[in-house]
Amino acid sequence: MQWHGWRIPVVLIALLVGLGVFLGAQWLYNRYSYQQPLNDVLRHNPAVASFTINQQEAVLRVTVRLKRVDNLMDAYRKLRRDIAGVLGGRDFRLEIRDDPDDRLQEAYYYSQFALYEAVDRGDYRDCAASIDAYARRAGVKDKIFLDENNIYLQLQDNGHYLYRVIPRRPAAASAPPAGGTQ
């Protein structure tokens, strides 16, 4: 069968072969440029119990179940640094999973008010004192870390642990825009 001098079956076969080569090359590139190195980095991190990588979205999502760690901030920052080192400039979102129990969930529930007030107002000392009081009342251990990007909350109760990373906003972002109200 021909169309304007072109053999349609030959053109279709050439298109399918070309598409197959393209998709195969893309798969190989993804596998060996970042998937395998990312798997290796996460597998060899002592704080990581398990992980999943979801590349179905525009932003790569890396979900990590952490083991019990002494310093959540150090573990989180090392994870971000290692993942960014593998991915280069590619955007990713790091999600942390933990192993909370009911007492930890309750302590976190009451701590949220102090956490988000600290994000909004910048009163981190009051936040730390409030969370420590909530944790003592609930009978759990707490650690709070702070860096230029996040507040790290770490709660522990027997064999269970709860980790939360709360992003800090720059002070200018919380101010009302000039010439209007928020």
Domain ranges, ordered by start, for the chain? 7-97, 102-174
State residue 5's pLDDT score: 66
In the 8-state DSSP scheme, what is residue 170? P
What pLDDT is stored for residue 24 in this prediction? 63
What sections of 65-151 are H helices per DSSP?
Answer: 72-87, 102-121, 124-138
Ranges under pLDDT 70 in the chain:
1-6, 21-22, 24-34, 170-182
pLDDT at res. 147: 93
Q: Return d(Cα 141, Cα 154) in angstroms, integer.
A: 8
Structure confidence by residue, pLDDT tens digits, 57-100: 788 899 999 999 999 999 999 999 999 998 888 889 999 999 99
pTM: 0.74
Q: How far apart are CA 117 and CA 134, in angstroms?
A: 15
Please state the separation of Cα 176 from the chain's center in Å: 29
- How far does the chain reach from its first CA to its final CA, in angstroms? 68
* Residue whose pair of structure tokens reads 């393209």 in the numeric block: 22
Cα–Cα distance measured from residue 133 to residue 22, given in angstroms and rounded to the nearest whole number: 59
Q: What is the pLDDT of residue 16?
A: 83
User: Whats the size of the chain, residue-wise?
Assistant: 182
Architecture of the domain made up of 7-97: 2-Layer Sandwich (3.30)
DSSP SS3 for 4 = coil
Q: What is the pLDDT of residue 34?
A: 65
Question: How far, in Å, are 8, 20, 175, 178 from residue 116 at the CA level?
Answer: 64, 51, 16, 24
